[in-house]
Chain A
Amino acid sequence: MSYLGKRLVHVVLTVLGIAIINFFLLQLAPGDAADVLAGEAGTADPEYLANLRREFGLDQPMLHQLWAFLQRLFMFDFGYSYRHNMPVSTLIFERIPATLILVGSSIAMALVFGILLGVVAARTAGRLPDKLISLASLLFYATPPFWIGLMMIVVFSVKLGWTPTGGMSDIISNKTGLAYVLDVMRHLALPAITQAVFYLAIYTRLVRAGMLEVLSLEYIRVARAKGISENRIAYHHALRNAIFPLITVAGTNLGAFLGGAVLTETVFSWPGVGRLMFDAMFQRDLNLLLSILVLSSIFVVLVNLAVDLLYALINPTVELR
């Protein structure tokens, strides 16, 4: 339990650090925080701005300002977006499900296919399938994902007409139930693949290296000597130990997946948090931008905590310190 306590202190410190970084980014911005909070300098009336400054204590010393900023943060008070005419927290929370669907399915896809391809590559090490898989992962690792997305739109949407070019569901048909789920999946296919390929390449390499290492160990030789089939050895005995590092890596990649969502959601007009961030950038809504950054970072911290605890549960060799 002291392990859990330490982890929780770490989480609190990290969230505090994230808030401080954001506070200083806000200080760097032209104009003061009141201008930023009001949406955009010059659009709000002076009286309102003066009110904001008093309310947020911008006439106070820096440390007091930081304290006020932290208090608002822990109250989930991110201010009001005049561009969208609603509180920032509502605006962001409305967009979260779409992003979770996209990021979740792309992580799952990258993991499943990364593990499969990695195992195949390791079992055929040095032969043709391994060489092809390694070449493909080298290529995908070097390709800008948003460009893969655009090229898939050209092939699958424009030329073949198999998939829609963007959005999350058909607006006109107004489907419900299972038809709606299938419709969303049809819209999800290209964006999820776009997000997945880069990490698919990384995970394939990781699993391949891990499998090669594990397959050379004594217990695998013992398993072979006992006459256990090669398939069972690969997927049952070796894979278990080879994918442990992958779990932690996937956890730390979550932030990158969220960042990538800004691109993917823009390319495919997916109505999630990433697309909201893109719009906020164009509308110069700095407060909204910072709020998205803070919330995404906190989300990453919490998921990583969960991953660490899960990892400790499934891998008994991890010592809880």
Chain B
Amino acid sequence: MSEINQALAKSFGLNAEEYDKVLAIMGRTPSLTELGIFSVMWSEHCSYKSSRIWLKELPTKAPWVIHGPGENAGVIDIGEGMAAIFKMESHNHPSFIEPYQGAATGVGGILRDVFTMGARPIANLNALRFGDPSLAVTRRVVDGVVRGIGGYGNCVGVPTVGGEVNFHPAYNGNPLVNAMTVGIARQDKIFLSAAAGIGNPVVYVGSKTGRDGIHGATMASTEFDAASEDKRPTVQVGDPFTEKLLIEACLELMQTDAIVAIQDMGAAGLTSSSVEMAGKGGVGIELNLDAVPQRETGMTAYEMMLSESQERMLLVIKPERSEAARKIIEKWDLDYAIIGYITDTGRIVVRHKGVVEADIPLDPLEKAAPLYRRPIAETPKPAPLGEVVCNMPLLEALEKLIGCPDLCSRRWIYDQYDSTVGGQTVKRPAQADAAIVRLEGTKRALAITTDCTPRYCVADAEMGGAQAVAETWRNITATGAKPLAITDNMNFGNPEKPEIMGQFASAIKGMAAACLALDYPVVSGNVSLYNETEGRPILPTPAIGGVGVLEDAAQAVGYALSPGLALVVIGETRGELGRSLYLREILGREEGAPPAMDLAAERRNGDFVRAQILGQAVAACHDVADGGLLVAVAEMALAGDAGVELTAEYGAKEWFGEDQARYVLAVRDAPAVLAAAAAQKIPAILIGVSVNQNKLTLPGAVAISLPQLREAHERFFPAWFA
């Protein structure tokens, strides 16, 4: 066995200063198991040591917030005594090393964070970023990630209802896989993780423990290099069948009063679950590893404490209910093992084969965890774009844009995800700006979306942070739902570089401003740092997952156009081309400042649109985002197979600029909507009508047929995987 010293600590990811702190807390040289516990609990992944001071800046409160950050997932009041429980989490590093399993276990992990609180998961979404599509490795990663998400989500029977995909060379060696789960619980049946009750049994439920995933949390806290392939054994292997059993077994057990506390074994497995449960409860915990169900023989205490074997939960059970609880768990053919008990010592004590392998005071393990205010270098504001010459005919540009990897149809992806299981999916992928899932047995529905525009964030992270939050709010609004709260998944590069930490701090500042302006707090989240390969960082990517509520699911609108409607644009069209997809895809430039954010206008315009939808004035609605106005209109036409006659005399800047806070409304009575907007000083303009023709026509009778547009829109993915 290796000698325990600073060099070994370094190989576990602890720096010299951190190792000195361990020595001071322990008053002696730690054992291997103890060093393992410190290193994973103090890893960036578990301790948030670089990000914590910034995350505190985010608004987390609103009258409808039941539990904000700090629990396994965020909890909000959605009416009728129900709560939505949700979170988004990254599985970036594993998904590059082993795309299928990395993505699959990402889905599994976020599901557990949600059902561990008592919620039945009702929707999965994902936010994905991949590298340059011309590289063979990108194709391999996309294929594996999509198969992995489908393989896991389809089997557990939770519909995958939405998501987003971007491509950029900055993600070449470092794709992002962010998975979001939304679940539903009764507000009076929410389960927390704080352990209590001295002497209460600590129960292990789920799959057996193996040697997979040891030090996964540490891997997730380092940069990638050529040797990363060697880390394949640290990627866990998922078993969605066991997860399905675990969901049903836990939800059945939660119908009884047996559970005192419950937490999933996620990153850092048995270590983090036991330390966090005891720590939150202000108690101690003693574990006897001889009782841990094991898949392999000869496992050491170190291996069991650090294993990230999937589909496992840790529970504190009322002793008099333990046998009844065992019956429920064993009915589902899962292991139920009492592996310890709650103590009053304030310490975690780990025994194995009669030997005390670890004995650590919990308070300093948590409270003395490193906390860094890392140096920050602000990103210089981008130079103004200046004059842009747009020579390409408008419809040729439209055809090219709507077929580019960032804008083309995602059908090839979502056709591999079961989006209807559960029987409550009101709006499936590509039918509305947000997925709509009804709450079984009620008229209510949730509107759910994920969004981020990294090409804005890299130019101006503050704007990009605000924009990501605002776009989820806009997407939810565009269905008629009221946006309530978000979860954030902060994906950035190496925080030890001041310019990366600067991006992080700026993104938080922008997000906080948007959350405040929109009454839209953060209730859960996850931070993924060190997203760099060979020293090159990803684009800063604060992915946002938003949740809103509709009192009546029948009021939801999608963006499919039907003939005979007027098209009204809400919000000001200024023609800002900086950082737009038009600039990148048509002119080959990634320059300029992203479009300006006006959060007050965002709020005004959105509140107006929502009121119009709920007032039954709107037949279809689409927010104007990637690609600009003409792309939005074309997407509406394709979704509904309805032609469009546009009358607005716009040029490329107006048709393709990505000015924010805008929506396209398809309405029956345009004068009424325009008058209502004018009365509230909301910018609104009629740009054309939908018609019973098979083409999209611009002023001057230039037209493109819908089949031609559709062919361009649908081509990319099937051709790539043909």
**Does B bind A?**
no
Binding site for B on A (CB under 8 A): none
Binding site for A on B (CB under 8 A): none
